[in-house]
Amino acid sequence: MWARLKIPERLPFRSLGSKLIFSFLLVVLAGGLASSIIGTYMVGNTIMAEAQKKVRHDLDSAWMVYQEKLRRIQDVLHLTAKRDLIMRAVTGGQVEVLRQELERVRIDYGLDFLTLTDKKGVVLTRTRTPYQGGDFQGNDEMVRRALKKEIVAATEIVPQEELAKEGPELVRQVYMEFVPTPKAKERPETRETSGMMLKAAVPILDINNNILGVLYGGNLLNRNYEIVDKIKDIVFKGERYKGKDTGTATIFQWDLRISTNVKDKSGLRAIGTRIARDVYDQVLENGRAWIDRAFVVNEWYIAAYEPIRNIKGEIIGILYVGTLEEPYTDLRNKVIYSFFGIAFLGLVLVLFLAYFITRSITRPIGELVEATKVIAGGDFSHEVSIQSKDEVGHLAFSFNRMTRTLKDTMEELYILNNKLQDLNRHYLEMVGFITHELNQPMGVLKGFLILLRDESLGPLVNLNQKKAISTMLRNVNALINMIQKYLQLGRIESGKMEVNKVRIPIFAEALSSILEDEKPQLDARKMQMIVENEEAFRKVEGEADPVLLRIVFSNLIGNAIKYAQEGGKIWCGFKEEPEELLFYVKNEGRGIPADKLTKVFEKFTRLEGELEQRRGGTGLGLFNTKEVVERHGGRIWAESEEGKWANFLFTLPKGGKGE
């Protein structure tokens, strides 16, 4: 408990400035981090959502390109079917004319094949070598519908044997072996032999609207990059980002890339690779669009997939557009970096500001701290010069006022103290003067009284004379005793007491004469003085001023006699301790109350006692004794059992300690 109250010389120090700066930093870090995280999260989400919206839109545009191509084929066929030349040639059965004319149309309009059937669906002529004919195409859904005078156009799968009829080169064009693709769905097949084509079929009608035949034809999509490149050019305007195409488009035949401008690692179009399993499931199995980021071949794309359906509405492939994710992630990263950059700049700025703010706060406080140190050192004239109008300024103002008050108080105290010292000096001088002046006549009185008592000046003639003289002598002795105490006090208080320590035999120098002097008093009160440990006591030597030590023993023994009970015992003893010599004077008697044990050593303290005992008491003996012992570097204290005994003990240091 006590240890905790102890004030250390230096307090553990952590500067106010560093605390403030740290707090600022914490606030800014927390705020900056939170806003940066939330901000980048929101901005990132917005950017990605925008990207997906744009891809969705791009897919719609891609479909427009795709459908336009289909319509163009349909239009070519439709316009061709309506030409008089064709109608007449069909009506006239001029197969050679038709072949020549239709082959010219096929080549002019860039169709892969163009085939004419009669009104039964039997092929009249084809337009590619070897110009095969005579087979029945009426089972084909589109031809069947055209025979019913419908104009139809759609994406269709064409099996290998049909392609072989249309033209053997087409079989080669569509043949494609699967390129192993890590995330693709397992399939038993290893290659594709059928083709996917944009196909139209239109009826040829006479003027009476009777069916004459059907014209059908179209373009294969396998290894045909016209549509995907057009999508790239129109939708993405052919933009490139860091050497990469920002937009890509792909046509899948089922899950196989048959037409694409996505490049593989060697920079070639990545045909032959297959779609990832999750897209497969979503688009091909469930027929739903799929829009998300996707890892396409070797880059991340924000991708949109939608199923391609044939005339019957069956899913046969996928149209895909994708926009490179990198520009968006770069944009997002740029925003994130900007956020963190701004936060960092803010941090630096705040640190900078915090430093100056803190300095402006702590500098005056530091000045105050310095001022308190100066004042603690006793210089009350020091004032702090802080002009600010805030709390610190108030503090400085109050501080200065406090210092001034302190200074005034100290000055008053100083003056008062001087006055008191003057008074005390006067008092001491007076006491000294009076006692000194009294001392001499008392000495003369005492001497004459002794001569009278001992009848050295002639015989005393009666008992009353003797009684009167010894009473006078007793009273003179008491007075002399009092005077000597005051003389001692005067010396002590005026600081004139010099302690001249020399090595002396304690008993012989300081005690034996006292024991001798006090013998009459002891006898008068029928007391017994017992010197304990006498042999060692007589031998012991110590460092002390013999005259002063005599005062100590004289006062202690005098007190013991005065306060002990009549007929009681007094013990005087000595004990050698490791560091010091211990002396004591113990007496039987009423003792000292516990609460008075320290008070007895104070100036002018007298114990309550019988009138007889109080007589001749100045209340100075123990005070003087204590001063003398302490000036020797020793301690003095009292012990007592009330009603039984009192013991006064004091020590003298063994070595040359003390004064």
Enumerate binding residues for other proteins (CB under 8 A): 436, 439-444, 446-448, 450-451, 454, 456-457, 480, 484, 487-488, 490-491, 496-498, 500, 502, 504, 509, 545-548
DSSP track, 535-577: HHHHH-EEEE-HHHHHHHHHHHHHHHHHHBPTT-EEEEEEEE-
Task: Rank residues 390 and 454 by Cβ distance to other proteins and give the closer one.
Answer: 454
Other C-beta atoms within 10 Å of 78: how many? 16
Tokens of 436: 């000194």
Q: To the nearest whole angstrom, how small is the minimum distance from the Cβ of residue 448 to other proteins?
A: 5
Q: To the nearest whole angstrom, how small is the minimum distance from the Cβ of residue 499 to other proteins?
A: 8
Task: Rank residues 406 and 451 by Cβ distance to other proteins and give the closer one.
Answer: 451
Task: Rank residues 409 and 424 by Cβ distance to other proteins and give the closer one.
Answer: 424
Task: Rank residues 484 and 647 by Cβ distance to other proteins and give the closer one.
Answer: 484
How is the chain split among helix, strand and coil, in percent rounded to 5? Answer: 50, 20, 25
Q: To the nearest whole angstrom, how small is the minimum distance from the Cβ of residue 580 to other proteins?
A: 21
Q: To the nearest whole angstrom, how small is the minimum distance from the Cβ of residue 629 to other proteins?
A: 15
Q: To the nearest whole angstrom, how small is the minimum distance from the Cβ of residue 445 to other proteins?
A: 8
Do the Cβ atoms of 624 and 555 come closer than 8 Å? yes
Closest CA to 210 of 275, 148, 161: 148
Which SS3 state, helix, strand or coil, does residue 117 take?
Answer: strand
Task: Rank residues 56 and 453 by Cβ distance to other proteins and give the closer one.
Answer: 453
Calpha distance 651→636 (Å, rounded): 7
Strand partners, 187: none
Q: To the nearest whole angstrom, how small is the minimum distance from the Cβ of residue 545 to other proteins?
A: 6
Q: To the nearest whole angstrom, how small is the minimum distance from the Cβ of residue 486 to other proteins?
A: 10
The set of residues, in sequence order, having a beta carbon less than 8 Å from that of 540 and lying 6+ positions away, is: 505, 506, 507, 574, 576, 581
Give the angle 250-256-261 at the CA atoms, nearest 5°: 25
* Axis-axis angle for helices 463-493, 391-453 (nearest 10): 150
Task: Rank residues 402 and 450 by Cβ distance to other proteins and give the closer one.
Answer: 450
Do the Cβ atoms of 640 and 591 come closer than 8 Å? yes
Inter-CA distances, 467 with 181, 517, 615, Å: 145, 21, 19
The set of residues, in sequence order, having a beta carbon less than 8 Å from that of 272 and lying 6+ positions away, is: 176, 177, 178, 179, 256, 257
Calpha distance 581→169 (Å, rounded): 133
Task: Rank residues 181 and 484 by Cβ distance to other proteins and give the closer one.
Answer: 484
Task: Rank residues 69 and 485 by Cβ distance to other proteins and give the closer one.
Answer: 485
Tokens of 347: 């941090």
Calpha distance 98→112 (Å, rounded): 17
Task: Rank residues 65 and 487 by Cβ distance to other proteins and give the closer one.
Answer: 487
Task: Rank residues 119 and 491 by Cβ distance to other proteins and give the closer one.
Answer: 491
Q: To the nearest whole angstrom, how small is the minimum distance from the Cβ of residue 518 to other proteins?
A: 14
Closest CA to 560 of 538, 528, 532, 533: 528
Do the Cβ atoms of 502 and 464 come closer than 8 Å? no
Amino acid at 289: A
| Look-up of token digits 């070598």 | 129
Q: To the nearest whole angstrom, how small is the minimum distance from the Cβ of residue 372 to other proteins?
A: 44
Q: To the nearest whole angstrom, how small is the minimum distance from the Cβ of residue 551 to other proteins?
A: 8
Task: Rank residues 592 and 629 by Cβ distance to other proteins and give the closer one.
Answer: 629
Q: To the nearest whole angstrom, how small is the minimum distance from the Cβ of residue 536 to other proteins?
A: 20
The set of residues, in sequence order, having a beta carbon less than 8 Å from that of 454 and lying 6+ positions away, is: none
Q: To the nearest whole angstrom, how small is the minimum distance from the Cβ of residue 488 to other proteins?
A: 7
Find the distance separating the first CA and the last CA of the chain, reported in whole Å.
Answer: 35
Task: Rank residues 138 and 616 by Cβ distance to other proteins and give the closer one.
Answer: 616
